[in-house]
Amino acid sequence: MLKRTITVALVEDDPFWQANISKYIEQESRHIKVVFVTGCKEEALAFIESHPSTDIVLLDLNLTRANLDGMELIEKLSRLGPKIIALTSIVDDDVIVSSFECGAVNYMNKSSIYDIIKAIQSAVEGNAPIHSDASPALIARLKEAKRVQILTPSELEIYYLQQKGYSKSKIAEMLFKSADTVKKHMQSIRRKLKL
């Protein structure tokens, strides 16, 4: 276990969570210090650019006044050096999976505040177990990825758009295909996946 001080930047725009997360970390660990708190993604990016040795960024993905997308910010911040832990109230499988794809090392719901210390320490040590708030979504996505391996690249493209709720005509428009072509692919997908 590390004995040096772990530095944390908290990106959260709700004053309630800013105070409670910072206070909890301060009370529970002598080795973890919140060195920066902001509710602005642009300020967070500027801080990490000037302090790239910051160990951890606790990042709320759902900031109300933001010009940068949360996933884009995860990508930018993780490239600068710190480990990113998505700390949010969003419970959506696509968002969870996307946050890991963009570079987050963990994903936690704000209601899991009591797990923050362990998550921070594990991330810095490089052996971060995936939090239980995220693991079901990741397991489901892995199972789905294995199941859809039998689809062609075109069918996969259509399958994922269909899963996002797009209609046949909208998919045809987005992929520059005819509605008949999309319909044939959809029939093939249903047959192959036994839907």
pLDDT digits (tens, 9 = 90+) for 26-52: 999 889 999 999 988 899 999 999 999
Mean pLDDT of 95-119: 90
pLDDT in tens, 170-192: 999 999 999 999 999 999 988 88
pLDDT higher than threshold 60 for residue 154? yes
Contacting residues for 64 by C-beta, under 8 A, at least 6 apart: 13
How high is the pLDDT of residue 2? 52
Give the closest residue to 57 by CA, choosing from 2, 1, 117, 120.
120
Question: For the purposes of burial, counting CB atoms within 10 Å of the CB of 6, is it exposed (0-12), middle (13-18) or buried (19 or more)?
Answer: buried
How high is the pLDDT of residue 68? 53
How high is the pLDDT of residue 65? 58
Mean pLDDT of 79-97: 88
User: What pTM, to 2 d.p., does this model score?
Assistant: 0.73
Answer whether 8's CB lies under 8 Å from 35's CB: yes
pLDDT higher than threshold 60 for residue 15? yes
Fold classification of 6-131 is: Rossmann fold (3.40.50)
- The 8 Å CB, 24+ separation contacts for 182-187 are 182/158, 185/154, 185/155, 185/158, 186/158, 186/162
How high is the pLDDT of residue 7? 96
